[in-house]
Amino acid sequence: MTGLNDWLDTLLKPDSDRAERRFYERRAVDRFAAYRLNGSELKKEAVKDISGTGLYIFTDQRWQPGTLLSLTLQIEGPLEMNPERRIEVQAKVVRCGEDGVGLAFVLQDDPESKQWESLRQSLIEQTKPKDMLGLVRIVEAIAFLSRICPGGAETLGQLLHERLGNLKLANAIAIVLKAENLLAGEPETDSLRADPELVVRILEDGSCTDENWLKHFWAGLLATSCAADGKSESSLALVELFSQLTTFPVRVLTVVCTRAPKVLEDSGSVSAKPLACKIGELKVTTGSRGLERDLGQLSALGLLENSHSNSPSLLGSDEVQLTPNSLALELFARCNGHRGSLRDFYSQ
């Protein structure tokens, strides 16, 4: 806390005498801003006043007390390249006013928190973001990972800082932020936990894609891997299954899981009826250049029902009957971040 107070004094009033001011004293500030991520958008909110324990920001938002925000604080304007001229901090909403909200800094001094802080700073130094949005994305992603993976700073740090280059790191950050957005509306989000090893698997495999829709699917798997007790036994099997699929089979899977007629049982289970697909239309829709091979992979992985052979044959036909089984339907729902029953997902 003393370090934060020193930073505020240095940044806001470099020539002032710190000894004459109390730690808890609020100070009105001019042209000082809090930057945060709102979905994919960078939000800048002016700071009304600040002290060593918290701040008040002008905003139209009215978050519930206890809501946790990741903020980057600095003088309004372009990104301060000198890390001593800005600070990345988490703050908790404590009150709402007519023109904004009051927040209290969440300051932790335990070894694990220092590990996460060190990882964040290492990633910032590694990527050297050119603008405030790039910096805030890293800050928000690490803050989210620290919440869902307590004790996982070292494990995730080995992946993010040591094994991923800048391009794959950017993809991994995007997956993390998409997962956070998927969980934003969930009750008791702050209590959800995930196995760090499973998160590493998701981010390592998912970071290989540059396609946003595939990142969304990996983010869905990350979001649905979070549970109140940190254990989601089915998640590992689904992640391992999805990691074996390449782009075009996933596109085919998306088509059949979306279009096949569903049977919704009173018990909550869901099954699908066969979907008649014109081969030419399916090739155009999915962009597949080897449709029989793609269908064969889906069948081999146990995602398509096929009573005639191990892979659907397209020889001498212009139409194929495709039926996603219950495993395929579950995988597709989880890839879309659905954490409830399959009936709820497919009845929408």
Are 34 and 49 in a shared domain? Answer: yes
Residue 169 lies in a domain: yes
pLDDT given for residue 201 in this prediction:
97
pLDDT given for residue 326 in this prediction:
94
Residue 241 lies in a domain: no
Structural contact between residues 303 and 321, judged by C-beta atoms closer than 8 angstroms:
no
Lowest mean pLDDT among 9-18, 115-124, 280-289: 9-18
Residue 242 lies in a domain: no
pLDDT given for residue 23 in this prediction:
54
Are 7 and 39 in a shared domain? Answer: yes
CA 53 to centroid of chain Cα atoms: 29
Which residue among 233, 259, 281 closes a domain? Answer: 233
Residue 49 lies in a domain: yes
Are 128 and 222 in a shared domain? Answer: yes
pLDDT given for residue 298 in this prediction:
94
pLDDT given for residue 3 in this prediction:
56
Are 154 and 267 in a shared domain? Answer: no
pLDDT given for residue 45 in this prediction:
96
pLDDT given for residue 83 in this prediction:
86
pLDDT given for residue 26 in this prediction:
80
Q: How far is CA 245 from CA 136, 239, 303, 305, 319, in A?
A: 32, 10, 11, 17, 23
Instruction: Give the residue among 246, 224, 250 at the shortest CA–CA distance from 237.
Output: 224
Average pLDDT over residues 10-28: 59
pLDDT given for residue 190 in this prediction:
80
pLDDT given for residue 11 in this prediction:
60
pLDDT band at 24 (very low <50, low <70, confident <90, very high): low
Are 261 and 341 in a shared domain? Answer: yes
- Kindly tell me if the per-residue pLDDT of 147 is higher than 90: yes
- Kindly tell me if the per-residue pLDDT of 311 is higher than 70: no
Are 229 and 291 in a shared domain? Answer: no
Residue 144 lies in a domain: yes
Are 298 and 267 in a shared domain? Answer: yes
Are 195 and 280 in a shared domain? Answer: no
Average pLDDT over residues 239-257: 96
pLDDT given for residue 25 in this prediction:
75
- Kindly tell me if the per-residue pLDDT of 307 is higher than 50: no
Which residue among 54, 76, 105 closes a domain? Answer: 105
CATH code of the domain in which 97 resides: 2.40.10.220
Are 225 and 116 in a shared domain? Answer: yes
Residue 84 lies in a domain: yes
Average pLDDT over residues 105-125: 90
- Kindly tell me if the per-residue pLDDT of 214 is higher than 90: yes
Task: Quickly list DSSP for 136-200.
Answer: HHHHHHHHHHHHHSTT-HHHHHIIIIII--HHHHHHHHHHHHHHHHHHTTSTTGGG-B--HHHHH
Distance, in Å, from the CA atom of 336 to the CA atom of 182, rounded to the nearest integer, reads: 9
Are 101 and 118 in a shared domain? Answer: no
pLDDT given for residue 30 in this prediction:
87
**DSSP assigned state of 64:** P
Lowest mean pLDDT among 76-90, 162-176, 202-216: 76-90
Which residue among 233, 263, 286 closes a domain? Answer: 233
Does 309 or 306 have the greater pLDDT score? 306
CATH code of the domain in which 296 resides: 1.10.10
- Report residue 5 as tokens: 């107070």
**DSSP assigned state of 23:** T
Task: Quickly list DSSP for 73-111.
Answer: EEESSS--SSGGG-EEEEEEEEEE-SSEEEEEE----SH
Residue 28 lies in a domain: yes
Average pLDDT over residues 220-246: 90
Are 131 and 221 in a shared domain? Answer: yes
Q: Is 70 helix (H, G, I), strand (E, B) or coil?
A: strand
- Report residue 301 as tokens: 């992985």
Lowest mean pLDDT among 40-54, 225-239, 276-290: 225-239
Task: Give the length of the chain.
Answer: 348
Domain range for residue 74? 2-105
- Kindly tell me if the per-residue pLDDT of 63 is higher than 50: yes
pLDDT given for residue 139 in this prediction:
95
Residue 154 lies in a domain: yes
Are 153 and 225 in a shared domain? Answer: yes
Average pLDDT over residues 269-278: 92
Across the chain, mean pLDDT equals: 89
| pTM for this entry | 0.89
Q: What's the sign of the alpha-carbon dihedral 293, 295, 301, 302? A: negative
pLDDT given for residue 82 in this prediction:
87
- Kindly tell me if the per-residue pLDDT of 310 is higher than 50: no
- Kindly tell me if the per-residue pLDDT of 19 is higher than 70: no
Structural domain count, the chain: 3
Which class for 94: exposed (0-12), middle (13-18), buried (19 or more C-beta within 10 A)? Answer: middle
pLDDT band at 1 (very low <50, low <70, confident <90, very high): very low
